[in-house]
Amino acid sequence: MTEALSSAPSSASITTELAMRRTGMAFQRTRMAADRTLMAVIRTALSLISFGFTIHTFFNKLKEAGVLKGTAAARNFGESLVLLGVGMLILGIIYHVRFMLGLRRVRTGMKDEGLVHGESGFPTSLVLIVAVVLLLLGVAVAFSMIGHVGPYE
């Protein structure tokens, strides 16, 4: 009977283990929150890029049809919206990468100190990959609009 009691984990070790697991899960929740923040940046940037492209194209078509003569201001506004969306996306990606690298450093430090388990991985974020692809598309749209190249010109 005393052997069974002595081999059972102590209350302190159980408490420590549970705290380590909660801390590990907190890192995962923080990572997911950072992904959600980047998704919000993506949504806003996509709205700016698509709305700017639409304004630019719409007023270009009106000029080609002879309905309007001076469309430079509206087209410049459309180009500005696209550039604003691309700039916002660049800043959002930079912020996300810096935040995630800092989070990884803190987690590695805590793992080295034995404060948290290091069993769960920190893979590359799918949201970050989508943001980079959208950035490339946004740059292509901006280049097409400003350089007056592409199928709609």
pLDDT per residue as tens digits for the range 115-125: 877 666 667 88
Q: What is the pLDDT of residues 87-100, one digit of tens each?
A: 999 999 999 999 99
In terms of Cα–Cα distance, which of 93, 100, 94 is closest to 133?
Answer: 93
pLDDT band at 1 (very low <50, low <70, confident <90, very high): very low
Provide the H-helix boundaries in 2-153.
2-7, 11-64, 72-112, 126-146
- Residue 153 is given by DSSP the state -
Sequence-separated (6 or more) residues with CB below 8 Å from residue 50? none
CA distances from 110 to 34, 44, 104, 113 (A): 20, 35, 10, 5
- Residue 1 is given by DSSP the state -
Q: What is the pLDDT of residues 31-51, one digit of tens each?
A: 899 999 999 999 999 999 999
Alpha-carbon gap, residue 56 to 98, rounded angstroms: 34
Q: What is the pLDDT of residues 68-78, one digit of tens each?
A: 777 788 888 99
Alpha-carbon gap, residue 22 to 76, rounded angstroms: 52
Tokens coding 46: 């996509």
Instruction: Name the more confident of 7 and 78.
Output: 78
